Amino acid sequence: MSDAREKAVPHLSPEEFRRLGHRMVDWIADYWARVESFPVRAAVAPGEVAAKLPAHAPEEGLEGAEGWEAIFRDLEDVVLPGLTHWQSPSFFAYFPSNTSGPAVLGELLSAGLGVQGMLWSTSPAATEMETRVLDWLAGLLGLPAAFQSGSGTGGGVIQGTASEAVLVALVAARERARRALGREAEWVAYTSTQTHSSVLKAAMLAGVANGAQDGVHLRQIDTDGGYALRPDLLEKAVREDLAAGRQPFFVCASLGTTSSGAMDPVRAVGEVWERTGVRASGGWLHVDAAWAGSALLCPEYAALREGLEVADSFAFNPHKWLLTNFDCDAFYTRDRKALIDALSVTPEYLRNAASASGAVIDYRDWQVPLGRRFRALKLWFVLRHYGARGLRTYVREHIRLAERFAAWVEEDARFELAVPRSLSLVCFRLEPRPGEAPGDTDTRNRLLLERLNASGQAFLSHTVLPGVDGAPARYVLRLAIGAVRTEERHVRAVWERLVALAGE
């Protein structure tokens, strides 16, 4: 039995919350204003941040709002020194992880409302706004009408990440193929050697692949000289598996691979599915456009949509390049029934009249977890604040800056483009010297990257691209432009720093 003399739970009063909330928004705004002053990559040793934190949780809580002074001090002294600043205008590593004022306000509102949108009935606004906002976005991207909710058979849903989206697609694909065939089978999924590792992970989680080395049940197809999946090799693999009694059921094509930004030929992949009879047996084509999908906003990149009319699902991340903070993946399918068949579990405590009527969407049946946040709010705020015109301007400017950087690379005889620029991604490296062994060229590029990143002035990442026609693999530097505050001066500065380091 609790002690009657025990203090009350120290909730913040509305006024204390208001004051602290204003202060936290001010802190974030100040952080954005000064982010350029910090080293881009965290300059701490392993364990250094943890050493600044007590070994045990506090027994006593803070005394009112005044006690928060210690928290704000720790933000400066503990948190900031241990951050790699993804919102820095000189962050060019990986792909961007955008955030913006409207998105943060939407996230704050979602947290403050604290609704759980697993069912339509648990918050109708959360469901219906998500449906409408994703229809807006599908229209802006020019996706096939079958991907919109008005089709009656398809629609969109916000997943956490593209990794979750591919898992949902793969599980739905297997269920559809199982029903089409009327039996269980030895399932085989396909992707290219350059596809994101999330496809392999999804196959492992779903029990299709028996571990990361299982090349029988997840076939990774070789690519062409531009690192795009080769449809002829895909067809060969599919026919081999059918002849061996295995059942192809899922293929993932990428628009904008992580390493080089390669674009797989979606229509040709769909034609392989058709010719081999896999389509007729329920086979599923998923398109992962996690980063590059945002470029579909711009009419001049309409060619990227080629073949989407034969895709069963499509996913991209507004949290990468569309000013919406993590996590927010827009996942579309033309076959919502397949998702529901594969993912719907309805215990008694979730039964309700609205769901039973069939007149509403219950998004818990379109995803792995039961619970879901009101993520549509931040996307709604971003679309309303920037409008389609503002978002197109944003994407186009990053592509323009990448064009500038690629031109500087081509003009300098010491450097080369490893592959042609892909939208706002430039893959480049130091040229081999006459007679230099490939390993020595890789070492020089590795050292160049390490010295640049250690300077704190910018942060780039690398990849290793496989050789073509027997050539050795190459260590390549990646410059991905996409941070909210990046301007031409930042791109020029990182290029000048690279040139200076290459000359030392």
Question: Which residue shows structure tokens 């409302």?
Answer: 113
d(CA 331, CA 257): 17
pLDDT at 1: 46
pLDDT at 349: 76
Within a domain: residue 225?
no
Based on C-alpha coordinates, what's the Rg of the chain? 25
Beta strands in 193-294 (DSSP E): 218-221, 247-254, 284-288
Beta strands in 172-325 (DSSP E): 187-192, 218-221, 247-254, 284-288, 313-316
| Cα pseudo-dihedral 327, 328, 333, 339, rounded to 10 | 40
d(CA 489, CA 372): 40
* DSSP letter string, 355-375: HHHT-S--GGGGSSSS----T
Q: How many domains does the chain have?
A: 2
Indicate the residue among 85, 114, 142 that finishes a domain: 85
d(CA 334, CA 311): 8
Bridge partners of residue 238, in order along the sequence: none
pLDDT at 64: 59
The CA angle 49-55-56, to the nearest 5 degrees, is 130
Within a domain: residue 154?
no
Within a domain: residue 77?
yes
Label residue 504 exposed, middle or buried (CB < 10 Å: 0-12, 13-18, 19+). exposed
d(CA 308, CA 311): 5
Within a domain: residue 307?
no
pLDDT at 408: 98
Indicate the residue among 85, 110, 134 that finishes a domain: 85
CATH number, position 40: 1.20.1340.10
Within a domain: residue 274?
no
Within a domain: residue 412?
yes
CATH number, position 488: 3.90.1150.10
Within a domain: residue 80?
yes
pLDDT at 65: 56
Cβ atoms within 10 Å, residue 416: 15
Task: State the sign of the Cα–Cα–Cα–Cα dihedral 131, 137, 139, 145.
Answer: negative
Indicate the residue among 57, 85, 113 that finishes a domain: 85
Which DSSP helix (H) or strand (E) runs through 230?
none
The pLDDT profile of the chain, 504 residues, written as one tens digit per residue, is 455 556 778 888 899 899 999 999 999 999 999 999 999 999 899 999 999 999 998 888 876 556 788 899 999 999 999 999 999 999 999 999 999 999 999 999 999 999 988 887 788 999 999 999 999 999 999 999 999 999 999 999 999 999 999 999 999 999 999 999 999 999 999 999 999 999 999 999 999 999 999 999 999 999 999 999 999 999 999 999 999 999 999 999 999 999 999 999 999 999 999 999 999 999 999 999 999 999 999 999 999 999 999 999 999 999 999 999 999 999 999 999 999 999 888 887 788 887 788 888 888 899 998 889 999 999 999 999 999 999 999 999 999 999 999 999 999 999 999 999 999 999 999 999 999 999 999 999 999 999 999 999 999 999 999 988 888 999 999 999 999 999 999 999 999 999 999 987
Task: For residue 449, give its domain range.
Answer: 395-502
